[in-house]
Chains A and B, each alone.
Chain A
């Protein structure tokens, strides 16, 4: 599944994943956002791996937020923006 969301005035975030037994698998997060340090892409990407797709937006957002180091700078997108892209993917909206 594939979903995109561009934060107005910010950057594009793209999510690609599979759903296996009602859970996120093979999550890939990409886009033209900025992330410091770059090594934080792995925890960002792993945050939703294996998570139940039936959870609500706040739960998804919280998972992403929890997995990022407090000093990580994510610019141009946000945990909320990533969740919008995930929702769009789940809804089959390829926009």
Chain B
């Protein structure tokens, strides 16, 4: 279908794509932002967060998993799709314990930044207030599962890049949760290291480096001045988060 590349339209704008690109990667390369959380330029499509909900020729789908094909008519920047995304964000917020004022990731958290950009004013739904653990056993990092959104970026990074297989997703439904592969189940008993890819991919504040704290003043943080739809286009283009 897409052997030779070609172009599709995204909200009326013509987007050229190379063979193998998805709608999301082609749009990003062309400088058009489509909201996403579980997609990462260094990893194959995953498709779990569904923030990149689009319509392709009138059919619902995920921009991160659908391969670009010539002539597709893709819609992304519509009130209906933004409403879906806002509700998905609200779901992620009520599912965990997202207490932004006390989170060191605040200001550079993708979940929070998308909530700002899509103007999510409240979580709307009933909070689940789940009981989730904090693991501070590692000398350099801590895990706060209260903030986990199950994107599995750490799972994928540790397995596919670091070759360590430190994280796994267990459970099902709302009982889904990340587990750590060590006899004690704690991060301190793994060979997790600051140089790991898994140490830098978490889009939220679930995996954080210790002794950093609120280093950057409010106002100077990644998403303080400009929305993620502008900032991430600069960040994602070279294929690196930061």
Q: Do A and B come from one complex?
A: no
Q: Which residues of A contact B (CB under 8 A)?
A: none
- Where the two chains meet, the residues of B that have a C-beta atom closer than 8 Å to any C-beta of A are none
